[in-house]
Amino acid sequence: MAGISELLERNRDFAARVDLRRLAMPAVLPDRLLVVLTCLDPRVEPAGFLGLTTGDAGVLRNAGGRVDDGVMDDIAYLAMRFGVRMDIAVIHHTQCGTGLLADPDFRRAYADRSGLGDAGLAAKAVTDPVVTVRDDVAKILGSPLLASDLVAAVSGHVLRLETGLVDTVVASVAPPLLHP
């Protein structure tokens, strides 16, 4: 638990300087009406590479920053909770550790341990972030759950760890209109 001790000390510093009125409010709408989906890799911290501050955006993180049912549910919940249309930025990165899921031996061992299916794990691998970002943006745009009444626009980007720069792969696209 030594790793958490320093972080708890940092929390005391945070509590001393944060606007407690903002934290005490019921769930707060992100200032930028933006949801960022990215990887849980510790090198990929959206506050750092996008300059986000508390309250700027809703941030969802998972292995690879991939779109799955849980991510779509979370985005829909946030938009419905506040009754606003949100922008969604999908950001994958180079040198992603989920690339290991492309290795059949690693994937099989992980599938055995986790009980997850081999094919599903293979689909989560980010070996080419340009391709996976395009796939994930298309998945959001094709979802009836995240139609135009909840989502204003979806964009896709790649954080290049070699340079620290974010490249736009898919410019902002509005989802299809919701048909009754």
Report residue 179's pLDDT band, with 50, 70 and 90 as the boundaries.
Answer: low
Whether 7 is in a domain gets the answer: no
Between 97 and 25, residue with greater pLDDT: 97
**What is the identity of the amino acid at 72?**
M
Establish whether 149 is an annotated binding residue. Answer: no
pLDDT, greater one: 136 or 15: 136
Sequence-ordered list of residues with C-beta below 8 angstroms from that of 109, at least 6 positions apart, any chain: none
Domain membership of residue 93 as a residue range: 27-173
**How do residues 103-128 score in pLDDT, each as one tens digit?**
999 999 999 999 999 999 999 999 99
Q: Is 112 annotated to bind ligand?
A: no
With 80 as the cut, is the pLDDT of residue 28 above it?
A: no
Average pLDDT over residues 62-73: 96
Q: What is the Cα–Cα distance from 55 to 86, expressed in whole angstroms?
A: 14
Identify the weakest region by mean pLDDT among 3-17, 109-123, 146-160, 166-180.
Answer: 166-180
Is 56 domain-assigned?
A: yes
Residue 84 lies in a domain: yes
pLDDT at 58: 93
Closest CA to 85 of 35, 36, 37: 35
Work out the burial of residue 29: count CB atoms within 10 Å of its CB; fewer than 13 is exposed, 13-18 middle, 19 or more buried. Answer: middle
154 within a domain of the structure (yes/no): yes
What pLDDT does residue 152 have? 92
Determine, yes or no, domain membership for 111. yes
In a domain, 141, yes or no: yes
Total count of domains within the chain: 1
Looking at the chain, the whole-number percentage of residues with pLDDT higher than 90 is 72
**Nearest-angstrom CA–CA distance, 111 and 82:** 38
pLDDT category of residue 1 using cuts at 50, 70 and 90: low
Residue 44: give its domain's CATH number. Answer: 3.40.1050.10
56 belongs to an annotated ligand binding site: no
> Residue 26: what pLDDT?
67
Is there a binding annotation on residue 96? Answer: yes
107 within some domain? yes
Query: Model confidence at 2, in pLDDT bands (50, 70, 90)?
Result: low
Higher pLDDT, 160 or 85: 160
Whether residue 157 is contained in a domain is answered as yes
